[in-house]
């Protein structure tokens, strides 16, 4: 029997009651989510870039079951040598540039950013933190301090001092990075306002400016990671390596885990012989989450899958043409439909929803609709999703 929406909202605290899409799922498998009434939806959000390996991926589920038969939580802070932590660290290191040597496990994307910023502060002892205008790195007080828009900050003042923003793709703003700057929290692809790709070697220039000033370059690949853009991480396509890479979301294949991976000279500063001088987190590196994470990593690191992601994304960008669509931009299966001015985005979401498509808008640009299905989507499912979206737009 379906749960009444009012009851749900009475018992479970919410952050938004505006969303026109309400689903009570009973199952999610591959790209499909089935609701309590038996209606099937194609998922264009992947739980916000979590379900890259497909919902309920059998290898991930099996890995979880196997680890559950061994042990769940045992201990934190490194006293116990836990095999799932070691296995994941070794595997991801094989797949990353050699500079990124050490991994620190946390529980979420926000915590990965927090931990990375703390490591940067311990490393160069500076104060200033820069991030892109209209970027989102999480909801902790540290991450909220990095938001550029007053309306998202004002309720939580006072926030961290010495935070400021630079515009993505703006070379002039790189001069804000100076010898007082502790770190820049950047993205390879700016995701706040849609899907914005770097232009004119912007990321190489950002890397160079950080090198010139001794600033730690922290890269948030929390949405763009794990094959989403057609390479394991998006930065691989833009000719630079960050000092610290932050990951989460798809990492756990549906279980909560995050991490930051950095150069040894920075990461070693966390090791101060008292956990509270570095970063302490009870569930960071949970063995069940890491068993799931290793299984999902092995799925999405597959070369054929990554190649297919590029081709699948091309189909969306080629075939999503409509009088209400200004453009579709993206890379791999990380795409956004920019609606023409005046098109009611809420109606678009509602009509998509009625047609069995789950999608949403971008945090700082509601006129921009997400196309980010699980990477395992088949060509037939892509065609089906495109036809449902175009039909939804016809009804506007």
Applying CB under 6 A, the residues found at the interface with ligand PLP are 48, 108-110, 136-138, 191, 220, 222-223, 248
Is 271 or 365 the residue whose CB approaches ligand PLP more closely?
A: 365
By beta-carbon distance, which residue lies closest to ligand PLP?
A: 109
Is 220 or 243 the residue whose CB approaches ligand PLP more closely?
A: 220
Is the Cα dihedral 29, 35, 36, 38 positive or negative?
negative
CB of 348 to ligand PLP, least distance (A): 21
CB of 68 to ligand PLP, least distance (A): 23
Q: Are 332 and 307 in contact (CB under 8 A)?
A: no
- C-alpha to C-alpha distance for 2 and 23, rounded to whole angstroms: 10
Q: Are 374 and 54 in contact (CB under 8 A)?
A: yes
Is 228 or 351 the residue whose CB approaches ligand PLP more closely?
A: 228
CB of 138 to ligand PLP, least distance (A): 4
- C-alpha to C-alpha distance for 343 and 352, rounded to whole angstroms: 14
Is 232 or 382 the residue whose CB approaches ligand PLP more closely?
A: 232
Instruction: Quote the crossing angle between the two packed helices 345-354 and 379-394, to the nearest 10°.
Output: 130
- C-alpha to C-alpha distance for 14 and 226, rounded to whole angstroms: 29
Residue 257: φ, ψ to 5°:
-160, 150
- C-alpha to C-alpha distance for 364 and 343, rounded to whole angstroms: 17
**H-run or E-run covering 40:** strand 40-43
Q: Give the residue among 70, 43, 130, 114 at the shortest CA–CA distance from 290.
A: 70
CB of 147 to ligand PLP, least distance (A): 12
Is 28 or 191 the residue whose CB approaches ligand PLP more closely?
A: 191
Task: For residue 255, list its beta bridge partners.
Answer: 253
Is 119 or 392 the residue whose CB approaches ligand PLP more closely?
A: 119
């Amino acid at each position: 029997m379906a749960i009444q929406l009012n009851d749900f909202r009475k018992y479970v605290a919410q952050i938004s009651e505006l969303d026109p899409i309400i689903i009570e799922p009973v199952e999610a498998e591959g790209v499909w989510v089935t609701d309590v009434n038996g209606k099937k939806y194609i998922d264009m959000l992947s739980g916000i870039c979590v379900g890259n390996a497909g919902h309920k991926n059998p290898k991930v589920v099996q890995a979880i079951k196997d680890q559950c038969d061994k042990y769940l939580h045992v201990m934190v802070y490194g006293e116990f040598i836990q095999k799932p932590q070691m296995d994941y660290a070794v595997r991801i290191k094989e797949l990353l540039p050699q500079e990124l040597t050490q991994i620190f496990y946390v529980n979420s994307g926000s915590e990965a950013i927090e931990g990375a910023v703390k490591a940067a502060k311990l490393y160069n002892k500076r104060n200033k933190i820069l991030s892109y205008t209209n970027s989102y790195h999480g909801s902790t007080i540290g991450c909220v301090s990095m938001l550029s828009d007053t309306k998202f900050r004002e309720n939580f003042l006072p926030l961290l001092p010495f935070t400021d923003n630079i515009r993505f793709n703006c070379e002039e703003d790189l001069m804000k990075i100076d010898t007082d700057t502790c770190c820049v929290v950047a993205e390879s692809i700016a995701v706040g306002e849609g899907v914005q790709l770097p232009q004119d070697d912007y990321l190489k220039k950002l890397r160079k400016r950080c090198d010139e000033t001794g600033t730690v370059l922290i890269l948030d690949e929390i949405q763009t990671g794990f094959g989403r853009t057609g390479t394991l991480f998006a930065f691989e396509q833009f000719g630079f390596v960050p000092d610290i890479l932050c990951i989460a979301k798809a990492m756990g294949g549906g279980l909560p885990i995050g991490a930051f991976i950095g150069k040894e000279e920075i990461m070693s500063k966390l090791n101060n012989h008292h956990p509270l001088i570095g970063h302490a987190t009870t569930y960071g590196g949970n063995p069940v989450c890491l068993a799931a994470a290793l299984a999902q990593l092995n799925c999405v690191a597959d070369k054929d899958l990554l190649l297919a992601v590029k081709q699948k994304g091309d189909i969306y960008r080629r075939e999503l043409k409509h009088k209400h669509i200004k453009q579709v931009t993206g890379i791999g299966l990380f795409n956004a439909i920019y609606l023409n001015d005046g098109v009611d985005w809420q109606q678009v979401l509602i009509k998509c929803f009625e047609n069995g498509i789950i999608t949403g808008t971008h945090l700082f640009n509601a006129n921009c609709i997400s196309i980010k299905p699980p990477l395992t989507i088949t060509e037939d499912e892509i065609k089906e999703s495109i036809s449902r979206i175009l039909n939804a737009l016809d009804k506007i």
